[in-house]
């Protein structure tokens, strides 16, 4: 059986690592991962034919006994991938010292905060960061294996939907710094309760405390502050930040200024305010902006450069995007949804100054036994806002509507049905929030707006 050092030597010969034979360009190390509905081992020979240098496969797979010297059998390809990533992380040096890794997780804002931190740190360092939201037990190893000889800092995003996910991921990426954006009521089906969410996300703090690292802490957040106080020494282990702590001013949004604007003291306690006009939608993103600036300041980026970097970031993939169409202004936040992010998005829409406003909302998934109650809360909130149009999509919102009489809401079984209705009933002159869990695919409605 091949040991990790030998596997690492072969990895160093390769251009990169991939788990998708369709992305082979030549020189890769291909890992044949196995899942419930796929078996990557079946594509190993194809990957080699396409130009992969090596194919790592399960030793009990048919291809393992092919006799091809470029086929590398291992007991478990996923475990081998994680071991290789951890070994690479541990053996990457910067100026003779082990590479610094910043790990972050949270219920909402992980990817946006990761992108902002990366943009800020990149003003001074060569940064390797998680691409997109590759933040699970496959994505984290692949992100670590993107680290190269030029990398000076790594920013690794970690997602979780089960109690031990973060614990497993920190064991792979071994972060020196940790940041939790927030903890909220998401993936309750997997976590069991809000306390389960806090315990699961808190595994990042647990690792940092056990290894003598540091966390970036939003001291305005009582849940995070309590979690940190339980685990870390007040002196030395915590780098504080916060909108209230820093006296940051969140400026109002309107049609002429639709994006998040904040005014930040040039230095702590200073009366000189520096303006940051971002391309992000929603006051809730102010915490993400301040977090990124806090990380940058700790690593020696100037306040001015950090603000410029934040302002240059343009979100994509339906994450807090603003789009002006020929007929409407769209707040596109259709990538994901949970009770915490849904409430924040509606609060932000309520603050927007506009003549006509609408909300197109899709079901929130993975809430288990709390689903009906959480959808009822959203229904109550959106009805109370007095919007000009409210459209709800999905079975869970249908159940919530069945418990309350209201003539102010239209319901649709799926996003295709809503898109068809919008095509027949065009909406114009509105500022429209579009939000829902990924599986509802609320982005299907966008062409009709």
Distance of alpha carbon 235 from the chain centroid? 29
Say if strands 431-435 and 357-362 run parallel, antiparallel, or are unpaired.
Answer: parallel
Beta-carbon contacts of 232 under 8 Å, excluding residues fewer than 6 positions away, are 205, 208, 209, 215, 238
Least confident piece of the model among 20-24, 132-136, 146-150: 132-136
Res. 253: pLDDT tops 90: no
3-state secondary structure of 275: strand
Average confidence (pLDDT) over 388-417? 91
Which of 231-235, 291-295, 367-371, 430-434 has the highest average model confidence (pLDDT)? 291-295
Mean pLDDT is highest, among 167-181, 190-204, 219-233, 314-328, for 167-181
**Distance between CA atoms of residues 155 and 176, nearest Å:** 10
The CATH class, in words, for 92-312 is alpha beta
Mapped onto helix, strand or coil, the DSSP state of residue 240 is strand
State the helix-helix crossing angle for 371-384 and 339-351, rounded to 10 degrees. 0
**Separation between Cα atoms, residue 371 and residue 407, nearest integer Å:** 22
Euclidean distance between the first and the last CA atom of the chain, given in angstroms as a whole number: 58
Whether residue 188 has pLDDT greater than 70: no
Task: Look at residue 323 in the predicted model and tell me its pLDDT.
Answer: 83
Average pLDDT over all residues of the chain? 91
Between 20 and 340, the higher pLDDT residue: 20
- Phi and psi at 174, nearest 5°, equal 45, 65
Angle at which helix 303-312 crosses helix 286-298, to 10 degrees, equals 140
Query: How many percent of the chain have pLDDT more than 70?
Result: 97
Greater pLDDT, 42 or 36: 42
CATH superfamily of the domain spanning 321-448: Mur ligase, C-terminal domain (3.90.190.20)
DSSP 133-181: T--STTHHHHHHTT--TT-SEEEEE---SSTTHHHHHHHHH--SEEEE-
pLDDT of residue 13: 96
User: pLDDT category, 198, cuts 50, 70, 90?
Assistant: confident
How confident is the model over 302-361, as pLDDT tens digits? Answer: 999 999 999 999 887 656 678 889 999 898 877 778 888 888 889 888 888 888 999 999
What is the Cβ-side half-sphere exposure of residue 214, based on CA atoms within 13 angstroms? 12
pLDDT one-digit tens code per residue, 106-124: 988 899 999 999 999 999 9
Neighbours of 185 (CB within 10 A): 21
Q: How far is CA 263 from the centre of its chain?
A: 25
Q: Does domain 4-77 have CATH number 3.40.1390.10?
A: yes
For 67-95, write each residue's pLDDT tens digit: 899 999 999 999 999 999 999 999 999 99
Tell me the average pLDDT across 131-143.
90
Put residue 89 in one of left, alpha, beta given phi > 0 → left and psi -120 to 50 → alpha. alpha
Q: Say what the pTM is.
A: 0.83
- More confidently predicted of 86 and 369: 86
Tell me which residue has tokens 């300041």.
Answer: 297
CA distance 245 to 239: 12
Cα–Cα distance for residue pair 409/47, rounded to 1 Å: 51
Which of 333, 329, 442 has its CA nearest to residue 393? 442
Residue 254 pLDDT exceeds 80: no
Closest among 198, 193, 182, 222 to 373, alpha carbons compared: 193
Q: Examine the pLDDT at 365 and tell me if it is beyond 90.
A: no
- For the chain, give every domain's residue range: 4-77, 92-312, 321-448
């Amino acid at each position: 059986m091949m040991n990790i050092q030998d596997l690492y030597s072969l990895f160093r010969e390769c251009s990169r690592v991939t788990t998708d034979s369709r992305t082979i360009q030549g020189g890769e190390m291909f890992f044949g991962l196995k899942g419930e509905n796929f078996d990557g081992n079946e594509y190993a020979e194809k990957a080699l034919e396409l130009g992969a240098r090596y194919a790592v496969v399960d030793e009990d797979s048919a291809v393992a006994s092919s006799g091809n010297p470029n086929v590398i059998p291992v007991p478990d390809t996923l475990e081998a991938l994680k071991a290789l990533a951890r070994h690479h992380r541990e053996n990457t040096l910067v100026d003779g010292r082990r590479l610094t890794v910043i790990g972050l997780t949270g219920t909402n804002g992980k990817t946006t905060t990761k992108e902002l931190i990366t943009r800020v740190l990149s003003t001074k360092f060569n940064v390797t960061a998680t691409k997109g939201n590759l933040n699970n037990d496959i994505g984290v190893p692949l992100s670590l294996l993107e680290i190269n000889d030029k990398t000076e800092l790594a920013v690794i995003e970690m997602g979780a939907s089960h109690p031990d996910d973060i614990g497993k991921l920190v064991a792979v990426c071994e972060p020196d710094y940790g940041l939790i954006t927030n903890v909220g009521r998401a993936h309750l089906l997997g976590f069991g309760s809000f306390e389960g969410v806090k315990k699961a996300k808190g595994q990042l703090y647990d690792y940092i405390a056990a290894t003598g690292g540091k966390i970036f802490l939003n001291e305005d957040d009582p849940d995070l502050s309590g979690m940190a106080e339980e685990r870390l020494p007040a002196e030395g282990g915590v780098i504080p930040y916060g909108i209230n702590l820093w006296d940051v001013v969140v400026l109002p949004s309107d049609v002429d200024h639709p994006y998040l604007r904040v005014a930040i003291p040039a230095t702590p306690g200073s009366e000189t305010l520096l303006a940051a006009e971002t391309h992000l939608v929603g006051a809730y993103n102010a915490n993400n902006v301040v977090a990124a600036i806090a990380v940058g300041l700790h690593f020696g980026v100037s306040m001015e450069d950090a603000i410029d970097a934040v302002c240059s970031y343009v979100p994509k993939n339906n994450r807090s995007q603003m789009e002006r169409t020929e007929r409407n202004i769209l707040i596109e936040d259709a990538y994901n949804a949970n009770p915490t992010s849904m409430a924040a998005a509606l609060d932000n829409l309520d603050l927007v100054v506009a003549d006509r406003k609408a909300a197109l909302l899709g079901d929130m998934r993975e809430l288990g036994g709390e689903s009906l109650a959480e959808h009822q809360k959203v229904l109550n909130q959106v009805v109370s806002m007095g919007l000009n149009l409210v459209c709800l999509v999905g079975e869970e919102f249908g159940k919530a509507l069945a418990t309350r009489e209201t003539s102010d809401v239209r319901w649709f079984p799926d996003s295709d049905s809503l898109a068809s209705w919008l095509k027949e009933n065009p909406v114009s002159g509105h500022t429209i929030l579009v939000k829902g869990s990924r599986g509802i695919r609320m982005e299907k409605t966008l062409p009709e707006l």
